[in-house]
Amino acid sequence: MKLLDAALIAALTSDADVFGGDFQRWCKINKIPRATAYRHKKRIEVEGRWTARSRRPDSCPHQTPAEVEAEVVRLRRADPTAGAEMIGYELGRVAAELDWAARGWRVPSRATINTILTRNELIEPQPQKRPKSSFRRFVYARPRDCYQIDATIVHLAGDREATVFEVLDDCSRLLVASHVTDAETAAGAVVAIGRAFSDYGVPGLVLSDNGSAFTQRHRRGGISRFTRTVTEAGARLIHSSPYHPQTCGKVERHHRTFKDWLADQPLPATQAELQALCDRYQLYYNTQRRHSAWNQPPWQTWLDLCDHGGPGRLPVQQDADVRVLKISENGRITIGITKISIGRGRAGEIVTALIDGTHATIYAATGQPLGHQHLTHHGQVKIIPAAA
């Protein structure tokens, strides 16, 4: 086509006989369709040159209105951490308040919001980032099936530090307790879990890491004060595997959400001021902030899911099974076709087995992980001890 356009322009501007007196024959030799050749010839005669025209349609009925796109941009600039799902949730509120339906406007999809953010250069491409679809999420099916507890350090004015214990419901992501103390101690952990029990009820399980505030087995041995508090309330305590923080991943991830919010607040000077901020944050997080796991605030999820767990009711996982078993006289338990030998020294003890597909992790009554084993063996196998 470039040869045709150049020849047509030369013929019109310099009166040169570039086609040998036969335009149709020239097109046939160069394998140019006659309709295309005459269309180019006509436009060049009118405009003096050939320029490609936009193929964009004159109208696009389903195009996102400019006002909606402006609202997407405003929400992103107001909160640079807000992703497409969070922006979509906030747009739903705006749409209800301003009655977008009466104007024929709809809340754009997640993909459309991402397109708008990209067009306005509000997204930094991260091709190396692992896609969400590659993660496998473990979650208990009911509120109060399991509480996760962990502590994080927060800075006060004057280069001083305080510790915040946070207790999170595994299913609804409700923040059931937030307690400020001097350091990560058993006393602080007991106050935090006690507040969670009194305000929202006792769960079936309490999950913690192996910090000294939650267990004594790495130090003096015996039963810790935190363990007694949990078990006397009727819940079962389990500890995550050492050096594997993903087990308590929900509350670990929540620390970052809390600190992002805290960074926008005045720096607290005392523990009392920090506790006031924690109380304010807990109300905001539970009742106003959308959680991506449920696309609504955690408190609404807690209310919507009427069937709650608790002591005496085995927790329910959507992708795993929880069993309470008694070790036989010969020191083993049976799960399906597999008999797992734990040791005669523990005969008669009650253990908790978390079964994920063909893999089981066994916990003692104190919450100590005893070990794990695959459930693909016929007959008896020894338990693989947990890492020390």
Q: What is the pLDDT of residue 54?
A: 78
Picking from 253, 246, 294, the residue whose alpha carbon sits closest to that of residue 141 is: 294
Determine the Cα–Cα distance for residues 331 and 323; give it in Å rounded to an integer: 17
pLDDT of residue 3: 77
Distance CA 115, CA 95 (A): 20
Q: Angle CA(327)–CA(328)–CA(333) in degrees, nearest 5?
A: 55
Q: pLDDT value at position 190?
A: 96
What pLDDT score does 58 carry? 78
Report CA torsion sign: 270, 274, 276, 277: positive
Q: Do β-strands 379-382 and 338-341 pair in parallel, antiparallel, or remain unpaired?
A: parallel
Mean pLDDT of the 30-52 span = 81
Type of residue at 44: I
**Average pLDDT of every residue of the chain:** 85
Give the whole-angstrom CA distance, residue 233 versus residue 269: 35
Q: Residue 99: which region, alpha, beta or left (left: phi > 0; alpha: psi -120 to 50)?
A: left
Task: Check pLDDT > 70 for residue 293.
Answer: yes
Give the pLDDT band of residue 48 (cuts 50, 70, 90).
Answer: confident
170, 268, 297 from 174: Cα distances, Å: 8, 24, 8
Give the pLDDT confidence of 130-172 residue by residue, as tens digits: 665 545 567 788 999 999 999 999 999 998 999 999 999 999 9
The span from the first CA to the last CA of the chain, in angstroms, equals 74
Mean pLDDT of 247-251: 76
Pairing relationship of beta strands 379-382 and 369-374 according to DSSP bridges: unpaired
Mean pLDDT of 77-97: 89
pLDDT of residue 266: 94
Q: Residue 220: what pLDDT?
A: 58
Lookup result for tokens 């990560």: 184
Q: Angle 110-119/84-98 helices, nearest 10 degrees? A: 100
Q: What is the pLDDT of residues 177-231, one digit of tens each?
A: 999 999 999 999 999 999 999 999 999 999 988 788 888 765 555 678 998 999 9
